[in-house]
Amino acid sequence: MSKEVRPLNDLRLKTPRAAAVAGILFAVLHITANVLIRLSIPSDPAADDFWLEEQAKTIALGLSLVPIAGIAFLWFIGVVRDRMGELEDRFFSSIFFGSGLLYMAMIFVSAALAGGLLTSYTLEPDLLITSGVYTYSREVIFTITNVYAIRMAGVFMISLGTIAVRTRIMPRWLTFLTYSVALVLLVSIGLNYWVTLLFPAWVLVVSLYILILNLRKKDAEA
C-alpha cells in the first residue's frame, strides 16, 4: 500500500496563537524583578552597604525571575518574526534580532554580577567592602543596565518600528508609540532609574495587541 504524502505546507510547524502570552509574561516578570531590586537598593552609590544584608532575600527573589523573563523574551522575538512572515527584511531583522539578544545577554550579566555580590557579602562582608570590589561591581551593574542594555532596547524598538512601517504589521499609533519610547530610552540615559521600565511596558502593549488579533482571527475562522 502506498502511503499518503502530505503537502509540505501541512508539515510546517505553526506558531501557537497563544504564544503572544510570552511577551506579557516577560513584561510582568521583568517589571516585577526591576521593582523589587530598585526598591531594595539605595540610589546613592555612596550609601552604606546595609542593604546587602537587610534586602538580600528580596533582591534574590527579583534575580530569580530574570532567567524566566529572558526565556519569555526569546519567545516574544519569535512571535514578532512569525508575524512578519515572508515580508521579513533581512537587514532590519538582523538588527532587530541582534539587539534583542544583546539586551537580554546584558541583563543576564548584570543579574549574575548582582548575585555574586550578594554571595560574596555573605561569605566575606568586610573583605568585600574594604577591597573595593563592592563599589566596582555596583558601578559595573549600573553601567551595563542603564547605559548599554537600555540603548540596545532602544535600537530593538527602532528596528521593529521601521519594519512595521514597511510591512504594516502594526497600526500607526503603535508604530508612533514605538519610536517615541525608543527616543526616550536613547536620550534619557541615567536621568531616572525607572525609565528602564518603559521597555517591558512597551513589550506588554505589543503582546496584548498581537494576542487580541490572534483571538479575533480564531473567532473569525470558527
Average pLDDT, the chain: 82
Listed residue (213, 199, 204, 201) closest to 23, CA to CA: 204
State the pLDDT confidence band at 119, using cuts at 50, 70 and 90. Answer: confident
Q: What are the boundaries of each domain within the chain?
A: 19-41+49-221
Please give the Cα distance from 157 to 203 (Å, whole number). Answer: 9
Residue 219's Cβ-count burial label (10 Å; 0-12, 13-18, 19+) is exposed
Among candidate residues 176, 199, 175, the one with its CA nearest the CA of residue 186: 199
Region of residue 142 (phi > 0: left; psi between -120 and 50: alpha; otherwise: beta): alpha
| Average pLDDT of the residues in 149-153 | 92
- Residues belonging to the chain: 222
- Confidence band for 219, pLDDT divided at 50, 70 and 90: low
Q: Are 52 and 121 in contact (CB under 8 A)?
A: yes
Q: What is the CA radius of gyration of the chain?
A: 21
d(CA 173, CA 150): 23
The rounded distance, in Å, linking the Cα atoms of 148 and 186 is: 10
**CB-facing half-sphere around the CA of 106: CA atoms within 13 A:** 20
**Residue 61: partners with Cβ closer than 8 Å, 6 or more residues away:** 36
Position 35 scores a pLDDT of 92
Q: Which of 108-112, 186-190, 201-205 has the lowest mean pLDDT?
A: 186-190
Across 11-15, 79-83, 125-129, 184-188, least confident range: 11-15
Instruction: Confirm if 147 and 185 have CB atoms less than 8 A apart.
Output: no
Tell me which of 5-9, 97-101, 154-158, 213-217 is least confident: 5-9
For residue 118 the three cell numbers come to: 550578594
pLDDT of residue 69: 95
